[in-house]
Chains A and B, each alone.
Chain A
Amino acid sequence: MSPSEHAIVFDIQRACIHDGPGLRTVVFFKGCALDCQWCQNPEGRRSTPELAYYEERCLPGCTACLSSCPHDALRDRIAGRVDWAACVHCGQCVEACPTTALVQVGRAWTADQLLAEVLADRSFFAATGGGLTLSGGEPALHSEFLRRFLPAAKQAGIDVAIETAGNLPWSQLAAILPWIDRVLYDVKVGGNARHLALVGHDNLRILANLRQLVELREAGASFTVEVRMPVVPGLNTEAAALVELAASLRELGISTLTLLPYNHLWEAKLPRLAGDRPALGIRPHDREYYDQVIARLASEGITARMA
């Protein structure tokens, strides 16, 4: 299948209230261009469909999946049923499983299918000023598909927001901008070396793309740009990181920043997925902590607010 005809989507959530104004349908595209240690959606990183195993949903005594695996990757026990080393993520066990203990994360959607799903809530978009939010993973990686899908969505009058971290060639981002109403642009951490260490990539291209967006916006482009930073206590909030981030933003003429509060629930996903990413063990922080981050940024000339 050609990438323009299909996209791998791993979740579609309706009636979301934190991903842009109004009630929104959020489409989570699979595949990412960064490798954040705190990745909230680790199931969105890999670009292809993958198996996930929910131990707590496995039915004691049930062995329905065992014979379905052509690669001998399933064991007759509940804890650690999937031998991730042997699993090739073919998904053949998923149908055999009577529960949702074994699920295939991500499947291919055509533009038409996705459009129908998104249009379902259009009357609520109209009533609340909501719309569609492209998320992921990195949705902009699917720009070829989006160039096919978005014109139809726009034609239907849908407000389109994109949540991107911007680590991809400008051309890919630029290709979909004509159909985007709001760019929710994530910056992960200030300072290039720190960025490389925590996220696996430097931030040069991310900042360059942000500059392009800001310039287009200043030139009268119709989309809005909101810069956001996920707060990961202890990792991207040290004073130097905030100072360097503020400097980068100021240099781009950006003076506001939305802070996304840390949510540790992603760690529950780790044992369900292939791979051995470590949990970070960061617990939720109180409002006071965020106020300190906000104050620090303020002293650097950036007006930050909580999402």
Chain B
Amino acid sequence: MATTAFVLERDGEIGELPRLARLREGLLDASYGLCTQKAELLTEAMRELAPPSPTTRRLAPIHFGMLERSLARNLASGEPVNHWALLGNRELQRMWLALEDHQHAEPAVLLFARGVAHVLEHMHLHVYDHELLMGNPTRHRIGAALHPDYGGMLMLPELDALRSRPVNPLAITDEQIATLRERVFPYWFTRSIMSRTSLLSDDVELQNQLTAGKRFVLTQFAGISHVTPDFPRVLERGFLGVLDDVRLARRQASTPEQTAFLQAAEISARAVLRLAERMSQRCRDQAEHALDPARAAELRELAAILEHVPAHPARTLHEALQALLVTWVAIQQESFQHGVSLGRVDQYLWPYYQRDLAEGRLGPNPRGRAVELLGCLLGKAAEQLPLFNSMATDFFSGLSSASGLTIGGVDEQGRDASNELTELVLHAYSRMRLRQPNLHLRLHGASPAWLRELAGEVIVEGGGMPALFNDATVIPALVEFGVPESIARDYAIVGCVEWGVPYRSFPAAGAGFVSLAALLDEVIHAPELLAADVDMDMDTIWQRFRAGLAERINEAVRGNEAIEQAHARWRPTPLLSLCVRGCIEAARDVTAGGAEYDSTGLQGVGLADVADSLTAIEQLVFEDRRVTLAQLVSACDDDFAGLAGEALHRRLLDKLPKYGQDRGRPEWWAARVVQAFCELVAGHSNSRGGRYAPGLWSMTTHVGFGARLGALPSGRKAKRPLANGASPSNGSDARGPTASLLAASRVANKRIANGLALNETLDREFLRQAGPGLIDGLTRGYFDAGGMQVQYNVFDVEELMDAKRHPDRHRGLVVRISGYSAYFNDLTEAMKDELIARSLHGRPACQVVEAVDRDAGHLHAVEPEAKAQ
């Protein structure tokens, strides 16, 4: 990919950096493995710390066998688990709990602090070739960790197939499978969050609801994560300083719970210090065996760094990055590695870089050295995968561990905060170009031209990063949510697109996804509306949709509350709590509300499908009276079969306006849906004392929900994906990028507290013809119109089609999925097809009523191949 003058000029200063190229190659070459290290070590520890009672030991295996069979059946057939079986299971779980609880001398927070300390004490450590930073999220170069204490049990029926499953196969040995079956799961199946949540839910069918994946999905039985830990505090004070804070708090603790939490926090802090000691030792060991003296010196330097950090305050950029990485890796051992984000690295690393520059510490090419160090950090984020079973893979395709990294934006006073590190992070990303981390750039009215220009160039190279966020609309949304302005100005992205307060909040941003489209489908299937002589108007449908939405959100919130309470009660995370501001001071775990700011994110999915469907119903049923609602619904039920069905289908697709064309009505409906969704979600509080935060992004839940839903009045056929995030339906953005950007700006709303994702697909040829600056122009126009977020997916459709046919030729092809990027090769076939459809031109729904001939263009217009975005 050719780069333009600016990057070349700056690159000239930075130089070749073969180290990063080799690191990248190594990561692209690495196969994926299932990591059972945490599962085995934690089980080993917990079997000692909290042994099963004699009765449990005798009887539980029978229950385990039943459960294993029922999980396998449920997964194979997709049928719901029998109500009585669920009730029986819950009663048995209740019994196991009663048998176990009194056994344990210590509260859960202490047990798990000790258990995780055991993991950190024994986990595998290694520095790979060329690395300047050390940290091993799993025992594989690239691995997915299994967390039996959360939702790992779901993998049980799929373990044997894991090696050979068509999408995202993972290496696993027979010994690993045997250990999981015989030692790990039999211990956890009565103790995991997944099994205990049912004890707190009044809806025994919750499990069925979740595995059905039709109306909503809740994710946190797999772990909460989704947080930006307080790296600045670790860098500034070191874990020894943090330990001082814990001790100080302990003197003031007034309840046994507080004392237990602080004791647990202390154990966790010591475990991190011990981990760093072991890492340092490992570096020395490897240095001794290194054949290349230069490499040995590098490893010895790293060993010395690890002797100092994260115990003590960091003094250099290298130390700061290493301290950050130790903390990040340790946190990944405690809970599910999803959305553990890095915050505003260009801000909190800036003092260290400046000091290094002043002291000449970065050698003859300081910018190049900094890019190298940053590149090593980026590579680390790409080493971990989330573990999903086959159903979850539908909903969360692309293996995003959603580690967000934010740069740019304003400072606390609202002045531009970008600096040289902002630039160097972009260069480091451009060199590494891996699927992770998610790179996020904050822009505002006074963002410097060089930054906008450089970002545009990095985006044009493809890969969908950085994603762009508009300070002018995001900050007010956080203020509206109750965050003081100076703190809101410091926002960072958690995971994919979730804007929130870094370092001092527990945003639980990925908690749940509600299918708005499935709800509309239910509403229009109400028998009262389908009767022949029903007296209704469009408002009847809207009111029912709104009422249904309130109910659906209640239902999702209730289910999620059961999960979150289970976390607080049975699976606190003292190590993470140590790293979220507020917890030590309040002497309370994050899962129990210890963070300074707290919230839970709930997303609406299928916005464009609902807006397009409401528009179609309004126009065809109530304005034109061309069909009755019953006829329309019946055509949907038949998936538009037959000549009449097909004629109706074509009318829906070709002749009705669609969200993303900026023709007014669909955008009006979309804005109305967003407003209702936001109001209803934000009206709920979570059990930690925070509020629910509405979001409009979908990961790939739009594919999962879509696969489980019949045809819609929008013209979307049965089982097809829904629209992603706040983007138009595939093929509906036929009026060019400005129209789809404006559509998204019209649904922007200061109540959207948990992020919004707009995927804007741009053809590389169009960008080439338009010249540099187009991306920036589009972004500025969109942001000036009130837009909140956008990510540009730049590619050629031929490239994607070739990648689908010949995966091995396109190993490093990174594409934007929803709020995150992924290797094209890691996607499900359905997602690959969706991306190709997104980028195909001359799409079925391109034609609109008064427009004539978008295929032919005219002499002076750009050729349609380049135009029809």
Contact = CB atoms under 8 A, between A and B. Distances in A.
A181 interface: no
Given A100-B654, A107-B850, A163 B860 contact: yes
B531 interface: no
B302 to A, nearest CB: 46
A128 B650 contact: no
A231 to B, nearest CB: 10
B861 A18 contact: yes
Interface string A199-216: 000000000000000000
B647 A260 contact: no
Contact of B852 (A40, A52, A121, A126): A52
B742 A126 contact: no
Given A121-B742, A128-B781, A14 B856 contact: no
B366 interface: no
Interface string A70-94: 0000000000000000000000000
Contact of B777 (A18, A103, A124): A124
Contacts of A64: 647
Contacts of A40: 858-860
B853 interface: yes
A23 B777 contact: yes
B331 to A, nearest CB: 40
A100 to B, nearest CB: 4
B856 A98 contact: no
Q: How large is the interface on A (under 10, 10 to 19, 20 to 34, 35 or more residues)?
A: 35 or more
Given A10-B852, A11-B852, A126 B857 contact: no
A127 B737 CA distance: 14
Contact of B858 (A41, A61, A120, A307): A41
B738 A14 contact: yes
Given A18-B862, A127-B777, A269 B643 contact: no
Given A17-B770, A59-B646, A127-B784, A121 B859 contact: no
A121 B777 CA distance: 12
B651 interface: yes
A242 interface: no
Q: How large is the interface on B (under 10, 10 to 19, 20 to 34, 35 or more residues)?
A: 35 or more
B19 interface: no
Nearest to B859: A40
Contacts of A16: 861-862
B654 A99 contact: yes
B297 interface: no
A266 B859 contact: yes
A298 interface: no
Nearest to B737: A15
Given A98-B648, A107-B850, A266 B861 contact: no
A68 B141 CA distance: 68
Given A124-B738, A260-B860, A43 B643 contact: no
A148 B851 CA distance: 24
A139 interface: no
A104 B655 CA distance: 13
Grouping DSSP codes into helix (H, G, I), strand (E, B) and loop, the A interface class, with mixed when no group exceeds half, is mixed
Nearest to B851: A11
Given A11-B853, A52-B852, A265-B864, A123 B858 contact: no
B502 to A, nearest CB: 29
B736 A263 contact: no
B847 interface: yes
Contacts of B770: 17
B736 A15 contact: yes
B857 A263 contact: yes
B650, B776, B780: residue with the most chain A Cβ atoms closer than 10 Å: B650
A64, A100, A130, A230: residue with the most chain B Cβ atoms closer than 10 Å: A100
Contact of A99 (B643, B650, B739, B861): B650
B655 A98 contact: yes
A120 B742 contact: yes
Given A17-B862, A100-B654, A23 B738 contact: yes
Given A13-B736, A59-B650, A62-B647, A124 B862 contact: no
B769 A17 contact: yes
B859 A263 contact: yes
A52, A64, A99, A135: residue with the most chain B Cβ atoms closer than 10 Å: A99
B648 A126 contact: no
Given A10-B852, A123-B784, A135-B858, A128 B773 contact: yes
A147 B749 CA distance: 38
A127 B648 contact: no
Nearest to A63: B643
B782 interface: yes
Contacts of B647: 59, 62, 64, 98-99
Contacts of B864: 265
Contacts of B847: 57, 100
B312 interface: no
A29 to B, nearest CB: 12
A28 interface: yes
Contacts of B737: 15
Given A23-B777, A28-B858, A62-B643, A15 B654 contact: no
B95 interface: no
B858 A124 contact: no
A64 B655 CA distance: 15
A57 B846 CA distance: 12
A59 B853 CA distance: 18
Contacts of B776: 127
Nearest to B869: A15
Contacts of A10: 852
Interface in B709-759: 735-739, 742
Interface string B832-869: 00000000000000010111111111111111100001
Contacts of B742: 120-121
Contact of B859 (A11, A12, A41, A130): A41
B852 A99 contact: no
B774 A128 contact: yes
B785 interface: yes
B781 A230 contact: no
A26 interface: yes
Interface in B762-796: 766, 769-770, 773-774, 776-782, 784-785
B860 A135 contact: yes
A100 B655 contact: yes
B662 interface: yes
Nearest to A262: B859
B648 A22 contact: no
Interface in B654-686: 654-655, 662
Contact of A269 (B736, B780, B856): B856
A61 B613 CA distance: 26
A135 B742 CA distance: 24
Interface in A1-33: 10-19, 22-23, 26, 28
A124 B781 contact: yes
A105 interface: yes
Nearest to A116: B664
A164 to B, nearest CB: 12
Contacts of A269: 853, 856
B852 A61 contact: no
B784 A126 contact: yes
B773, B781, B858, B862: residue with the most chain A Cβ atoms closer than 10 Å: B858
A272 B847 CA distance: 15
B651, B737, B847, B850: residue with the most chain A Cβ atoms closer than 10 Å: B850
B736, B777, B859, B864: residue with the most chain A Cβ atoms closer than 10 Å: B859
Nearest to B785: A123
Interface pairs A-B: 5 shortest CB-CB:
A124-B781, A15-B736, A128-B777, A40-B859, A127-B780
12 contacts: A12-B851, A14-B739, A15-B738, A17-B769, A19-B860, A64-B647, A100-B849, A123-B780, A124-B777, A124-B782, A130-B777, A269-B853
Given A26-B861, A41-B858, 15 more contacts: A14-B735, A52-B853, A61-B643, A99-B655, A100-B654, A100-B847, A124-B777, A126-B784, A127-B778, A128-B773, A128-B774, A128-B781, A163-B860, A230-B859, A265-B856
